[in-house]
Structure 1
Amino acid sequence: MAETKRCIQCGAVLPEDAAFCPHCTATQVARQVQAVPRRRSWRRIVLLAAGALAALAVGGWALWGWEKPAAQETVLPTVTAANAYDRQCQTYYEGADGTLYWVFAAFSPAGSDGENCPNGYRSQLIAAGEESWGPLTLYAYDAVTGKNAREAFAPLVEDWQVTASAQEGDACRIVMEDADYSAGGAMYAREHIATSLCGRNEITWTLHMRNGDTVTLTQVEEYGERPAVDYRWENEDMTTPTALQALLDRAAEETEPEDVVTVYLPAVTYDQPLHVRRDMNLIGDDTVIAGGLVVEPLACGDDKEVCVNVRAVTFAGDGGVGLQVMGPTWVRGFRFTGWDVAAQALDGGWICSQENTYDSNGVALELDSGSAMMCGSNMNNSRFLRNGVAIRVKRLPVEWMTLELYDCSFYGNTVDLDDPQGLVVRR
């Protein structure tokens, strides 16, 4: 009887011809990794190459640290332009003591499951005149055990740098030399900024090893401009909550996923709940939300940032939840007052609070999200005044596991921080 085929990552039972796992999305084809050129004897190079091919032949279980699955034939993939990016952003490196390290670069501190993996290519559409910030991260793992080995590998490195060069358009900027993604397992990290004018960029990591070796890894990013679709109160009916909700629903249906959708709100008080069902900008003008706003889960795309931006709106309530988000949401220039919970992030959602005032609420900001996408883990220049609880932290996205408060002020709250796990850092 033929053996049951199981996922090489999670162990789920799969069809015999499955190329990926529908449970954890892991590919069922072993990944190829490019060996770094070093000054070794030909005999040693041949032995290392043989060892690497042997590891691939058993499904990559030793390299990735997975439990070895039931014996099955593994077919190595043909290298194409599509996966050549991933080959160029990772390599093996053997230390003097014989330890084999797996070194790779990525564009994020960790995946949604908290695991890190190589990423050699990224594309994104950015609205004209806007900037996109993102991390560049580098990792070192023990190739045999699959465990993070940055503490053992870092002493082998004399110096390192990461640079960006434009192959088309402008070069993206690499900034913030103190970028720290160690909580996500990164050994080295930088922040970088791109615009729609950056075109195609090559990111190059260079490690100068203490023994004289040089390790080079490359990644590629491509940028373009997102089309813009505007809805203005001068041209659209937004006079009542019903009319505005109809417009928000229509905007979600008639626009393309890559469009930048902006709704310019009038000086109206909306006393009924409103729901946002796609990423968009909501820009107020003496606008008051009194019935609450819900950001539904957002469809995520690889080529653009997915979030809701709300600016210059007052949330004035009489109990209930003012802003409830299940998708990444940026709020800037608000005043929240009179809510049982002024702003609440649930799974899939995150609230990035900048320059807001939370005054006289039961709970000003409640964070209860184990996962989020494409939002930063910091709160800037917000004021928490006369609330029952200023910030209550139940869970934070696994990508960060810390919340950093920059230049936030607290006055007259019964409790400033309800943070039993100690996940908040005040700066």
Structure 2
Amino acid sequence: MAQRMVSCPHCKRPLPEHASFCPYCAQSVRPRRPIKPPSHLWGKALRWGLGVCLALAAVAAVVVPRLPKTYDAYGEVLYTDADGTYQLLLSAVSDRFTPMPEIREKAELDMEYRVPSRLFINHVGTGVNAGPMFMQKVAFISTEFIQSETSPSPMVCSQPEEMSFSPEAARVSLLDYTGRSDPAELVWTLRMKNRDIIRLRQKIQLQPIRTYDYYPEDFPMETTQQLQDLVDRLSEEIPLPDIVNLHLPPVTYEGGLFIQSRPFNLYGSTDQQGHRTTFTDTVAIHAQNEPITYFYDLDFVGNGENIGLSSPSRLWAENCTFSNWKTGVMGYGSAWVNVIGCRFSGNQVGFHFNSTGSSVSHTMFNDNHFEENTTAVLLENVPTDVIMNFQNSRFRGNRVDIDNRCGQPLDLTQAIFE
């Protein structure tokens, strides 16, 4: 088969159809296509992206550990920084090692209450109290309640501060509420100088207490024996923590009254001639480690001997008078005793505190009148070193106004000395 011939595009001489080179003029007879080198764009992009990722990872390794952290828990948080690990915990009691994520209290509906929320800080491992050192790392600390806006009696908390009655606590917040307060949540917030945030939470739950009121119209209580019999019977019939209020007639009780097993609240009264409920012998309380025993509007009139009102447990006397006793009111044992708006006159010792307990009911001893006593106030031993405030209390004609033998801190700035 004859080969088809074509002409050289340069010299026009005949060439075979598939020739690529003319032997006559030494020219290429086929057009050259430029050869493109392989593209490296994707490779460059890949290398660039990898470099960026490595740079970001390096930055993250340095920056992320330094970003502020938030800790949020009930009762207890473990916090670690360059100096070690710390246990931060909340408690209502003085135990600095046991977290208390919830405070459960029994409350009478119309009574006011105060409990502390204490922040303890321990160094993990050694167990030492790290509060003073750790607080140097804190820029700001606060407390607040989260609670229902419709609560009939909203809870209130004080801002955290150091308090002498709880020296091992880094800070203490005082919680005020009534038996009508709805459940609430207390939130402690610590903003650290390194911008970390620590939140510790505590739930506050209240259990209502039943209240029983007894009146002379319904129960015999005209004599000391009748009153003692009623106290003894109710001590067996009504369990704690229910409250028993005895509303006494305006009579004079001869002979002593002994209250044990459980507290009773005694309310005095006044007849049309102005005679108030009066005790002429010792009223002794022995219901130790129980709720507060309250005395209102009562007169205690002695014969220069004995003690008018004595208690080794928590006692509160308000608007009462104590006259002509060896000692008007005495708190001993582990008692915390408050006298508010009372009058002490003609006693060898008006108010005697000699207790080595560890709890405080209230710091106020306001609006009392101490007149013509040998010693108005004798402080032999007082639980804790909390400051006792004698605001608006008046001292007149006493041989010794205050014999502070134990060196108890006192606030006398608003007391009146005549």
What TM-score results when the alignment is normalised by the length of structure 2? 0.74
Gap change, CA 1:101 and 1:159, over 3 Å in 2: same
| 1:288 corresponds to | 278
1:174 to 2:164 alignment: no
Q: Which residue pairs with 1:83 in the alignment?
A: none
Specify whether residues 260 and 354 from structure 1 end up closer, same or farther in structure 2 by C-alpha distance, changes over 3 A only: same
The Cα offsets for residues 214-242 of structure 1, whole Å up to 9 and x where unpaired, read as 11111111113211111111111111111
**Change in 2 beyond 3 A, CA 1:324/1:266:** same
Matches within 5 A, 1:313-392: 313-318=298-303, 319-371=305-357, 373=359, 375-392=361-378
Q: For 1:386, give the aligned amino acid.
A: E
Q: Is the Cα–Cα contact under 8 Å of residues 189 and 197 in structure 2 kept in the other structure?
A: yes
Amino acid aligned to 2:399: T
Contact kept, 8 Å, 2:143 with 2:157, in 1: the verdict is: no
Structure-1 residue corresponding to 2:11: none
- 1:313 Cα shift? 0.1
1:206 is aligned to 2:189: yes
Query: Which deviations, in whole Å up to 9, do the C-alpha atoms of 1:168-225 show, x marking residues without a partner?
Result: 9727422444865244123222222222332321111111111011111111111132
Q: Cα RMSD over matched residues?
A: 2.5
SS of residue paired to 2:365? strand
Per-residue CA deviation, residues 261-310 of structure 1 (Å, 9 max, x unaligned), is 1000011111211012212211001100111111113354xxxxx11010
> Are the equivalent residues in 1 in contact too, given 2:111–2:178 (CA < 8 A)?
yes
Superposed CA offset, 1:110-167 (max 9, x none) = 36xxx67532222223222222222222222333443333221112111121111227
Q: Mapping of 1:88-103 within 5 angstroms?
A: 88-96=74-82, 98-103=83-88
Contact 1:168 1:199 in 2 (8 A): no
Residue type of the partner of 1:284?
Answer: G
Aligned residues: percent identity? Answer: 22
5 Å-filtered alignment, 1:26-425, equals 40=65, 88-96=74-82, 98-108=83-93, 110=94, 117-166=98-147, 170=151, 172-177=154-159, 180-185=162-167, 186-277=169-260, 278-285=262-269, 286-300=276-290, 306-318=291-303, 319-371=305-357, 373=359, 375-398=361-384, 400-425=385-410
Give the distance between the partners of 2:159 and 2:188, measured in 1 at CA: 14
Q: What letter corresponds to residue 403 of structure 1 in structure 2?
A: M
Report the more deviating stretch, 209-218 or 139-148.
139-148
- 1:312–1:332: 8 Å Cα contact kept in structure 2? yes
Q: What TM-score, normalized by structure 1, do the two folds share?
A: 0.72
Conserved? CA contact 2:375–2:401, under 8 Å: yes
> 1: distance between equivalents of 2:402 and 2:376?
6
C-alpha distance in 2 between matches for 1:132 and 1:299: 17
Distance 1:408 1:176, change over 3 A: farther
For the 8 Å contact 1:381–1:407, the answer to whether it is kept is: yes
C-alpha separation in 2, matches of 1:180 and 1:361: 38
CA distance 1:333–1:179, change in 2 (3 Å) = farther
Report the CA distance between 1:348 and its aligned residue: 2.6
- Structure 2 counterpart of 1:67: none
Structure 1 residues without counterparts, runs of 5 or longer: 1-38, 46-86, 301-305
Match of 2:52 in 1: none
* CA distance 1:374–1:417, change in 2 (3 Å): closer
> 2:40 maps to which residue?
none
Aligned equivalents of 1:40, 1:357: Cα separation in 2: 65
Structure 1 stretch displaced more, 370-379 or 359-368: 370-379
Q: Is the 8 A contact 1:347 1:372 kept in 2?
A: no
Q: The residue matched to 1:368 in structure 2 has which SS?
A: strand
Whether the 8 Å CA contact 2:387–2:411 is kept in 1: the answer is no
The separation in 1 between residues aligned to 2:374 and 2:97, in whole angstroms, is 39
- 2:268 is paired with a residue of what secondary structure? strand
CA drift at 1:380: 1.6
CA contact (8 A) 1:199 1:224 kept: no
Output the amino acid matched with 1:332: E
**Distance change >3 Å, CA 117–CA 374, structure 1 → 2:** farther
The runs of 5 or more residues in structure 2 that have no matched partner are: 1-63, 270-275, 413-418
Hey, what's the Cα distance between the residues in 2 that align with 1:203 and 1:106?
12
Question: Any idea what SS the aligned residue of 1:291 has?
Answer: coil
CA contact (8 A) 1:169 1:197 kept: no
Counterpart secondary structure, 2:361: coil
Given that 2:371 and 2:398 are in contact with CA atoms closer than 8 Å, whether structure 1 keeps it comes out as yes
May I ask how many residue pairs the two structures share in their alignment?
A: 335
Larger Rg: 2
